[in-house]
């Protein structure tokens, strides 16, 4: 192709043509966004899965000497079996333990223990300073038992919604697999086309791409792996300390561990307090709360200080407080995928600021000379 053929289209565009084309392009992009918005979560999750596992996909394709479509299909089969089957059995076990916990809290023994705590008599002194304070408002029987008693009724009343939600999750997972298949097969082409379309210098394109990959890797390999390990370790400690529904509370600890500056302590500290109260009443021996205290302070805390730096070695990581706002705000704005999108947006913001300082900011020394 000659130079005249390449540059000719640029000369034939008038200003009005450029304006019209820009208007049509923005309109079409907006319409495409509206069409894809209901499936955006599935598309983003598919892209995240491909980003994290793409190196494995390349090795599978190279090792088996097969095409991208075949390698992508094998990857999705492996991901399905690695995720769906364990999650199914874990969810069934969590539901079973949650039902057992509800039945135990509804039992007469649990009600007697709550009555023996007699928390209102210990906080009655607050009325001296706040006359409107009602000590009975913090009575465990009034706070906990109504919620527990209403749980079976809530499940019965919302059973259809729960089933519908499970069906929606299955459909959503299928869409995630479709998205992942597309990104496995066309991902390299998409990256090349984005580089062609980008008006930025090539080195900044690479910098943005590396930032996106590092943040996704840091979030998944750092926070999720650390959260799972902390949940497992917390579950083991609760099981040894004979806390009821240890597996259920271990799953709760896994979720809480995903939140920076919160962690599994939101589970094992209340469990330890519960055991100390039970031991003071002679219900359980004192070794249980003492063991759980040591386990939480030493073992669970060490996991966060050892596993997280190991999994995030060489990865970009925000400071703790901005990371907390990024995760909480991201989940508020985008749902579960905000766990990744929040830190990603903040990291890209830092990259934009850095690029601006390097490319457009006039050094102070040059300003002073001028």
Does the pLDDT at position 339 exceed 80? no
* Annotated domain spans of the chain: 39-122+135-151+163-197
Better-scored residue on pLDDT, 158 or 164: 164
Local confidence band at 165 (pLDDT 50, 70, 90 cut-offs):
low
pLDDT at 28: 93
Q: Find, among 13, 36, 43, the residue nearest to 337 by Cα.
A: 43
Which of 136-140, 269-273, 356-360 bottoms out in mean pLDDT, i.e. has the lowest?
A: 136-140
| Highest mean pLDDT pick, 50-54, 162-166, 328-332 | 50-54
| Highest mean pLDDT pick, 4-13, 22-31, 208-217, 319-328 | 22-31
pLDDT at 179: 92
In this structure, are residues 300 and 232 in contact, taking their beta carbons and an 8 Å threshold? no
Provide, rounded to the nearest whole percent, the portion of the chain with pLDDT above 70. Answer: 69
In this structure, are residues 339 and 330 in contact, taking their beta carbons and an 8 Å threshold? yes
CA distance 293 to 298: 8
pLDDT at 181: 92
The Cβ-side half-sphere exposure at 277, using a 13 Å CA radius, reads 16
Local confidence band at 218 (pLDDT 50, 70, 90 cut-offs):
confident
CA distance 105 to 99: 10
Residue written as token pair 């917390």? 234
User: Taking residues 103-132, what's their average pLDDT?
Assistant: 61
Q: pLDDT tens for residues 1-19?
A: 444 444 455 566 778 888 8
3 state SS of 223: helix
Q: pLDDT tens for residues 53-67?
A: 888 898 998 898 888
CA distance 304 to 307: 6
pLDDT at 199: 81
Q: Encoding tokens for residue 154?
A: 């809530």
Q: What is the largest CA-CA distance in the chain?
A: 92
Q: pLDDT tens for residues 170-215?
A: 788 888 889 999 999 998 888 888 888 888 777 777 777 777 777 7
CA distance 332 to 148: 27
Computed over every residue of the chain, the mean pLDDT equals 75
CA distance 183 to 72: 9
In this structure, are residues 87 and 232 in contact, taking their beta carbons and an 8 Å threshold? no
- Give the chain's end-to-end CA distance (angstroms, integer): 47
pLDDT at 148: 54
User: Taking residues 68-96, what's their average pLDDT?
Assistant: 78
Residue written as token pair 């890209």? 348
Q: Encoding tokens for residue 306?
A: 């050892």
Q: Encoding tokens for residue 342?
A: 């929040």
Better-scored residue on pLDDT, 336 or 312: 336
pLDDT at 146: 58
pLDDT at 107: 58
* Residue spans of alpha helices (H) in the chain: 3-11, 15-36, 40-64, 68-106, 108-117, 119-122, 140-143, 145-157, 159-197, 202-217, 225-240, 246-257, 265-280, 287-294, 301-311, 320-334, 338-359, 364-369
pLDDT at 2: 47
pLDDT at 65: 85
CA distance 336 to 176: 14
Q: pLDDT tens for residues 264-304?
A: 888 888 888 878 877 877 778 888 889 989 998 888 888 77
Does the pLDDT at position 147 exceed 80? no
Q: Find, among 142, 92, 82, the residue nearest to 115 by Cα.
A: 142
Other CB atoms within a 10 A radius of the CB of residue 106 amount to 14
3-state SS record for 247-313 = HHHHHHHHHHHCCCCCCCHHHHHHHHHHHHHHHHCCCCCCHHHHHHHHHHHHHHHHHHHHHHHHHCC
pLDDT at 142: 60
Give the DSSP per-residue string, 104-139: HHHSHHHHHHHHHH-HHHHSGGGGGT-TT--GGGG-
3 state SS of 319: coil
């Amino acid at each position: 192709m000659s130079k005249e053929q390449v540059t000719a289209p640029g000369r034939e565009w008038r200003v009005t043509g450029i304006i019209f084309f820009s208007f049509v392009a923005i309109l079409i992009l907006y319409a495409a966004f509206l069409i894809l918005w209901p499936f955006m979560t599935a598309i983003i999750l598919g892209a995240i899965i491909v980003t994290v596992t793409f190196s494995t996909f390349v090795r599978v394709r190279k090792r088996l000497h097969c095409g991208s479509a075949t390698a992508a299909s094998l990857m999705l089969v492996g991901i399905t079996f690695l995720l769906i089957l364990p999650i199914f059995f874990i969810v069934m076990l969590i539901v079973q333990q949650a039902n057992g916990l509800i039945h135990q809290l509804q039992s007469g023994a649990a009600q007697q223990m709550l009555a023996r705590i007699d928390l209102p008599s210990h906080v009655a002194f607050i009325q001296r300073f706040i006359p409107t304070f009602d000590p009975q408002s913090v009575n465990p029987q009034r706070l906990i038992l109504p919620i527990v008693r209403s749980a079976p009724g809530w499940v019965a009343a919302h059973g259809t919604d729960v089933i519908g939600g499970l069906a929606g999750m299955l459909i959503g997972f299928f869409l995630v697999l479709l998205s992942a298949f597309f990104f496995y097969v066309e991902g390299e082409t998409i990256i090349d086309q984005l580089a062609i379309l980008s008006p930025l210098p090539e080195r900044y394109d690479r910098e943005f791409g590396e930032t996106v990959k590092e943040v996704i890797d840091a979030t998944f390999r750092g926070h999720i792996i650390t959260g799972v390990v902390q949940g497992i370790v917390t579950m083991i400690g609760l099981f040894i300390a004979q806390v009821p529904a240890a597996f259920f509370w271990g799953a709760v600890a896994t979720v809480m561990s995903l939140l920076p500056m919160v962690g599994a302590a939101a589970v094992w500290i209340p469990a330890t307090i519960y055991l100390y109260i039970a031991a003071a009443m002679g219900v359980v021996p004192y070794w249980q709360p003492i063991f759980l205290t040591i386990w939480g302070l030493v073992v669970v805390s060490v996991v966060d200080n050892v596993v997280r730096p190991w999994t995030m070695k060489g990865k970009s990581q925000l400071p703790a407080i901005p990371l907390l706002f990024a995760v909480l705000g991201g989940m508020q704005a985008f749902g579960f995928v905000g766990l990744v999108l929040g830190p990603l947006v903040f990291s890209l913001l830092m990259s934009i600021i850095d690029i601006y300082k390097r490319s457009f900011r006039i050094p102070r020394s040059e300003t002073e000379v001028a």
